[in-house]
Amino acid sequence: MNLTAALYDRLSGDATLTALLATYRGEPAIFTVDPAPPDAALPYIVTAGSVVDNAWDTKTTRGRQVWRDVRCYAPATGSSATVEAIAERVRALLHRHYLEVDDHVTYLAETAGPIALGDNEAYGRIITVRLTIGEV
């Protein structure tokens, strides 16, 4: 199963979202490693690893319920408009969208958030994606 690749493909394939992000080595600044590279410019997205990964089996199927955080960051400029626009676009791209995950079928795709996250140098928002997927 390659959920990371499916999320990256969905996010990086959207021109509206990528226009809101910086670029890193010629690609949209969407990172699947944590932390983001130290030379990455804001704004960017980080989605790396699942926060929940539970079995979701029935009598006749095998599946998983996976929750993944997608963290959005933008420079702390006195306005959170940029990070909110990024987070809302991420939510729109993932809520009720059935991802193409290798050898799995998506039964349910929901998002929660955005919720605030940040520090003195960057504003942040977290979108949590909850996927219920089954093996095919």
pLDDT 10s digits, 97-106: 888 887 778 8
Confidence of residue 128 (pLDDT cuts 50, 70, 90): very high
Burial of 109 (0-12, 13-18, 19+ CB in 10 A): middle
The region that residue 127 occupies, defined by phi over 0 for left and psi between -120 and 50 for alpha, beta otherwise, is beta
- β-strands 30-31, 44-46 pairing: parallel
In the three-class reduction of DSSP (H, G, I as helix; E, B as strand; rest coil), residue 7 is classed as helix
Question: Which single residue is written with the structure tokens 């006195």?
Answer: 78
In the three-class reduction of DSSP (H, G, I as helix; E, B as strand; rest coil), residue 42 is classed as coil
Q: 3-135 belongs to which CATH class? A: alpha beta
- pLDDT for 1 beyond 60: no
- pLDDT for 81 beyond 80: yes
- pLDDT for 26 beyond 70: yes
- pLDDT for 136 beyond 80: no
Q: Where are the domains of the chain?
A: 3-135
